[in-house]
Amino acid sequence: MTANGLSDLDLRIASLSVHADDSYAMVSDVAPPLHVSTTYHYNSDPSKLKSAREHDIRIKTDESSFIYSRFGNPVVERVEAVLSAILNGHAVVYSSGLAAYTGSLAYYHPKRLSIGDGYHGCHGVAHIFTRFSGLEEVPLYDDSVSEGDLVHVETPINPTGQSVDLAKAVDFARSRGAKILVDATFAPPPLQDPFEFGVDMVMHSATKYLGGHSDLLAGVLVTKDPTVRDALLRDRGLLGGAPGNFEAWLLLRSLRTFKMRVETQAKNAGKIVAWLDTAIKNKEIPVLTKVYHSSLQTEEFVRKQLKTGLFGPTFSIEVESKDIARAVPSRLKLFHHATSLGGVESLIEWRAMTDASVSETLLRLSIGVEDADDLIADLKAALLSFSEN
Ligand SMILES: Cc1ncc(COP(=O)(O)O)c(C=O)c1O
């Protein structure tokens, strides 16, 4: 942060979400305007004009102005200022989480990708790279991992919401001379900061908690190294992965309320998971067999990673049979039966519909900002209805 004296202040996430882009305002509007233009006037003073041989058109410097919105535009720049501040590094925004992931694979261009459990779409992107760059996909902690390879860890994991040991994964990557990328979509700040564990790059599907309203697609890569950020920007300018102006504007607007949304969602989820866990232990709901969530893991690393005491707002449950799993969503009143997660409205998904790798008895729940007790009552009534005649 450079203007308005903000650089003198030690601001926290809630304040940064509202003010980290203040110095980027080009007009006096309090609410950032939506800039729709794809192209920008060049400076009318010829002495200020540089040829492409003298400057990098894909990286905007303080002195240079916008050129073409695939390379950068005023709203994307403001969003990146906010995301850099709250994600604790240099953020580059993309048109979706998978576009961001594609950007990271294009940048690292590893021979081997050591990838653990997680979102099936990232595995799908990796498969495409095996086709056109000869990338080899190997499991996490595979013996073949060596210098120049990339380790990809997702934590907490989609769809269970359970955590993976980051310190262990970082040690493994370092011992092999590999880089490590963490998909932290399921635990945005303030819940978790993977950089505290020394990872090289953090990724989020901003479609989820950062966007938070189920109305935009976006993704973000974050690096501590400004030269890596510049390289990502150069690639993005050519690969065409920048978000559209309107999506970037929606994301900026969403970020203003980011912390209060995530905290409410995480608190609600914690309460619901605790209730489900007790219900299983007391055999109160016959059809409910399992609940998965980081808050139920007993390994020491979980509370080191999710150190605020709040865990991710998305988790999974299992019920007795495939038929019951398929029918549960239609008996709920406050949960939409839909894929995705992170929005203010609670969602439930019979996960086998979009993910062929999971059990057909699994349901994924993304908890929103409704009242937790109302959500519990809704779940209780729906799940108990299968035991009534
Ligand atoms: C953990 C995780 N990473 C990445 C993605 C991909 O993000 P997007 O849908 O924004 O491309 C998703 C989408 O569900 C996800 O859950």
265 within a domain of the structure (yes/no): yes
Q: 207, 222, 255 — which closes off a domain?
A: 255
95 within a domain of the structure (yes/no): yes
H or E element at residue 14: helix 13-19
| Residue 310 sits in the same domain as residue 220 | no
| Residue 220 sits in the same domain as residue 281 | no
Q: Whose CA is nearest to atom 9 of ligand 1?
A: 97
CATH, residue 87: 3.40.640.10
127 within a domain of the structure (yes/no): yes
Taking all residues of the chain, what is their mean pLDDT, rounded to a whole number?
A: 96
What does the pLDDT read at residue 1?
40
φ and ψ at residue 174, rounded to 5 degrees:
-60, -40
| Residue 175 sits in the same domain as residue 276 | no
* pLDDT range class, residue 5, cuts 50, 70, 90: low
Residue 326: CB atoms within 10 Å = 17
Instruction: Give the residue, out of 96, 105, 119, with the most ligand 1 atoms within 8 A of its beta carbon, to mutate for a pocket test.
Output: 119
Q: Whose CA is nearest to atom 14 of ligand 1?
A: 340
Q: Ligand 1 mean position to 98 CA, how many Å?
A: 6
Q: Ligand 1 mean position to 56 CA, how many Å?
A: 31
> The tokens of 310 are what?
């709040």
Strands laid side by side in the 288-292 sheet? 288-292, 314-319, 362-366, 347-350, 336-337
Q: Whose CA is nearest to atom 10 of ligand 1?
A: 97
1 within a domain of the structure (yes/no): no
| Residue 246 sits in the same domain as residue 279 | no
Q: Ligand 1 mean position to 142 CA, how many Å?
A: 24
Q: Whose CA is nearest to atom 6 of ligand 1?
A: 97
What domain count does the chain have? Answer: 2
Q: Whose CA is nearest to atom 8 of ligand 1?
A: 97
What does the pLDDT read at residue 65?
87
| Residue 198 sits in the same domain as residue 230 | yes
Residues 243-265 pLDDT 10s: 999 999 999 999 999 999 999 99
Residues 336-374 pLDDT 10s: 999 999 999 999 999 999 999 999 999 999 999 999 999
| Residue 158 sits in the same domain as residue 45 | yes
* pLDDT range class, residue 156, cuts 50, 70, 90: very high
| Residue 93 sits in the same domain as residue 220 | yes
Tell me if 158 CB under 6 Å of ligand 1. Answer: yes
DSSP secondary structure, 270-295, as one string: HHHHHHHHHHHHTT-STTEEEEE-GG
| Residue 88 sits in the same domain as residue 189 | yes
| Residue 199 sits in the same domain as residue 241 | yes
What does the pLDDT read at residue 10?
86
What does the pLDDT read at residue 245?
96
| Residue 126 sits in the same domain as residue 16 | yes
Residues sharing a CB contact under 8 Å with residue 153, sequence separation 6 or more, in sequence order: 116, 118, 140, 164, 166, 169, 180, 181, 182, 183, 199
Q: Are 376 and 272 in contact (CB under 8 A)?
A: yes
* pLDDT range class, residue 224, cuts 50, 70, 90: very high
Tell me if 97 CB under 6 Å of ligand 1. Answer: yes
317 within a domain of the structure (yes/no): yes
CATH, residue 374: 3.90.1150.10
Distances in Å between the alpha carbon of 376 and those of 176, 280, 305?
46, 14, 27
Q: Ligand 1 mean position to 37 CA, how many Å?
A: 28
> The tokens of 13 are what?
């996430």
227 within a domain of the structure (yes/no): yes
Is pLDDT of 271 > 70? yes
Mean pLDDT of 226-241: 97
Tell me if 163 CB under 6 Å of ligand 1. Answer: no
Angle CA(340)–CA(167)–CA(232) in degrees, nearest 5?
Answer: 60
64 within a domain of the structure (yes/no): yes
Q: Whose CA is nearest to atom 7 of ligand 1?
A: 97
Q: Ligand 1 mean position to 126 CA, how many Å?
A: 14
| Residue 186 sits in the same domain as residue 227 | yes
Q: 255, 285, 312 — which closes off a domain?
A: 255
| Residue 228 sits in the same domain as residue 136 | yes
Distances in Å between the alpha carbon of 74 and those of 25, 134, 256?
9, 37, 17
Tell me if 160 CB under 6 Å of ligand 1. Answer: no
Tell me if 305 CB under 6 Å of ligand 1. Answer: no
Ligand 1 atom nearest 186 alpha carbon:
1
What does the pLDDT read at residue 4?
54
Structural domain containing residue 378:
259-387
* pLDDT range class, residue 33, cuts 50, 70, 90: very high
Q: 255, 284, 316 — which closes off a domain?
A: 255
Q: Ligand 1 mean position to 381 CA, how many Å?
A: 31
